[in-house]
Amino acid sequence: MTVGSDGKPQIKEWGNVRPNTTAAISKSGTKQPAVDEILDEKAKTLKLVAEMPGIEKSDIKVNIADGVIDLTAERGERKYHCSVPLKYNVDENSAKASYANGILEVQLKVPEEKPKGKTIPVI
């Protein structure tokens, strides 16, 4: 929540669950977790942080393909799913994931951008 220039509060909603719309939840039964992307330019890493309370590590599936991370988790009545398109070029082989206290963190290395083309020396 932020305060606008007019002094009135502005509430930013996230996920696919809205107040008074239980029909959307009951049809699919799947919630979209809140996901933040954090780029650390010094360490050259991209971290995705997703809120998925009420599940265990073994319930989580993380898949990376074609610049999209697919997060899925299911435990009993709790179901989460989202696909996050990556804004940065990442090394898929460097992915590490951890889960604690309802928070999933996926960390990826961002390779250095090498200039395209070839420099030709003038003699």
Question: Which positions ≥6 away from 90 have C-beta within 8 Å?
Answer: 46, 64, 108, 109, 110, 111
Count: domains in the chain: 1
82 is in which domain, residue-wise? 6-109
Spell out the per-residue pLDDT of the chain, length 123, in tens: 567 778 777 766 555 555 554 433 445 688 999 899 999 989 999 999 999 999 999 999 999 998 899 999 999 889 999 999 998 889 999 999 999 999 999 999 998 877 778 878 898
φ and ψ of 64, to 5 deg: -120, 125
* Structural domain includes residue 91: yes
* Structural domain includes residue 116: no
CA gap 7, 36 in Å, rounded: 27
Q: Which two tokens stand for residue 110?
A: 């961002």
Helix or strand run (H / E) with residue 28? helix 22-28
CA gap 106, 99 in Å, rounded: 9
pLDDT of 21: 47
Say which CATH number the domain at 43 has: 2.60.40.790
* Structural domain includes residue 89: yes
